[in-house]
Structure 1
Amino acid sequence: MSPGSEKAYFELITGSVLFGLMGVFVDYLRAVPTGPMIFYKQFFGLISLFVFIMLTGKLSQIIPRRKKKCILLLGFINTCTIFSYFTCIKYTNFSVAILMLYTAPMYVTLLSPIVLKEKITRKGVVALVLSLTGLLFIVDMENVIAGLNLGLYGGSGYLIGIAAGILSGFSFGSEIVTIR
């Protein structure tokens, strides 16, 4: 392993740990509304990135030169992903929310033949069925049925959380397809 790659691995691990802890912080901040939480997350991230770029002197790298609409679309999809993920955490719990977010490959399998004109393979279909089956094990179906019986707003909000979790996985999958 070269000396430069050790630094890259350290940065990757650090970023992964910090991103993973984001859900724990959101779980502890249930009293804070989702909108302001997302605003401050994005705002302080942008400020940190700007300061880093200013200190390194690479300001010219942040000016988009091409595919500006794609970058704008990615920003919108990323905000939808974060909003639905945070909403899922608030109405269900962190473990359900993170598992629902990481159903994104399931949606990529569904979207890639439509958007990217890729062929769907037998392995992809099997993985999709297994993912969907696993998703049914993750979700507490008793709470979902109770939410359906009481109406969308009559229950504990678990149904809203599950819907937000499905949206977070779908929008994260959409983000992956858009990047591709």
Structure 2
Amino acid sequence: MSSEFKGIALRIGATAFFTLMVVFIKFLADTVPVGQVVFYRSAFALIPLVLYLMLTREFPSGLRTKRPGSHVLRCLLGCMAMFASFASLKFLPLSHASIIGYLAPVLAVALAAVLLREVVSNARWFGVIFGLIGVLILVLPSATAAEVDRAYLIGVGLAFAMAVLTAGAKIQIRSLALTENAGAIAFYFALTCTVAGLATIGFGWVTPTWEQLGLL
């Protein structure tokens, strides 16, 4: 199996798991505070991450880094993107939030060309431009059909912020992946979001029901 095929398979798998996660979060959006959701999502993610690093005999050695500043930037961008993403689901229908989220890979391609000096062919630029147009075609009629009130506009703003921040985080991940352990990149991100989520405990956390706990 070629490395490119593996990469494609992993991206498809990541998208599938991410989609399931977003559906669960949408169920919780109106009853559990965003910070609490971020905490649970991140704290429990540390368990399989540590197990993975232990199985590959890279814990704690695999957490060493020569680029702490890059990790900090990636974690900050990713953490803000997560808060914005989860918060947008409180104000927007899942389909609307997902459609706006498609801007993230479009922006990532543009940033990769500018910041990472990656070569983007004319065909790919063509795809990026039409992808952006496609997002607008999908979003605008939905926005017109929806009740465009203050809450909806807040949701749209959060979703766009999530797309921009996610694109920035993807660029940092791409850069880090050239020299850093993949487990370390994920570990530091999950740890940062766990701490950030826990910091919101004084802002109205709820005692989850068994159903909510299962979704969390």
TM-score tier by shorter-chain length is 0.7 to 0.9
- Structure 1 Cα separation of the partners of residues 12 and 78 of structure 2: 21
Aligned to 1:158: 152
Contact 1:88 1:97 in 2 (8 A): yes
- Structure 2 Cα separation of the partners of residues 81 and 115 of structure 1: 19
Contact 2:88 2:159 in 1 (8 A): yes
Q: Which amino acid aligns with 1:93?
A: P
Contact 1:144 1:159 in 2 (8 A): no
Kindly report the root-mean-square deviation, in angstroms, between the aligned alpha carbons of the 2 structures: 3.3
Contact 1:27 1:89 in 2 (8 A): yes
User: What's the secondary structure of 1:59's corresponding residue?
Assistant: coil
Shift of 1:145: 8.7
Matches for 1:96-135 after TM superposition, within 5 Å: 96-117=96-117, 122-123=122-123, 125-135=125-135
Aligned to 1:152: none
Listed as ranges, the gaps of 5+ residues in structure 1 are 3-7, 148-154
Aligned to 2:79: 79
Shift of 1:63: 2.1
Quote the sequence identity (%): 25
TM-score calculated relative to the size of structure 1: 0.74
Range that drifts further, 83-92 or 131-140? 131-140
Q: Cα 1:129–1:9, aligned 2, differ >3 Å: closer, same or farther?
A: closer
Q: Cα 1:66–1:14, aligned 2, differ >3 Å: closer, same or farther?
A: same
Shift of 1:26: 0.6
Q: Cα 1:176–1:9, aligned 2, differ >3 Å: closer, same or farther?
A: closer
Q: Cα 1:17–1:120, aligned 2, differ >3 Å: closer, same or farther?
A: closer
How many pairs align?
A: 168
- Structure 2 Cα separation of the partners of residues 159 and 52 of structure 1: 41
Q: Which of 150, 168, 172 pairs up with 1:174?
A: 168
Structure 1 position 21 matched with structure 2 position 20: yes
- Structure 2 Cα separation of the partners of residues 9 and 105 of structure 1: 14
Shift of 1:64: 2.3
Superimposed CA distance per residue, residues 6-25 of structure 1 (whole angstroms, 9 cap, x where no aligned partner): xx999876654332200110
Q: Cα 1:127–1:144, aligned 2, differ >3 Å: closer, same or farther?
A: farther
Contact 1:26 1:86 in 2 (8 A): yes
- Structure 2 Cα separation of the partners of residues 10 and 136 of structure 1: 28
- Structure 2 Cα separation of the partners of residues 170 and 76 of structure 1: 13
- Structure 1 Cα separation of the partners of residues 148 and 94 of structure 2: 21
Q: Cα 1:13–1:104, aligned 2, differ >3 Å: closer, same or farther?
A: closer
Shift of 1:125: 4.9
Superimposed CA distance per residue, residues 45-97 of structure 1 (whole angstroms, 9 cap, x where no aligned partner): 11332244345543134322211111121111111221121122221122222
User: What's the secondary structure of 2:60's corresponding residue?
Assistant: helix
Aligned to 2:189: none
Contact 2:108 2:171 in 1 (8 A): yes
Structure 1 position 141 matched with structure 2 position 143: yes
User: What's the secondary structure of 2:32's corresponding residue?
Assistant: coil
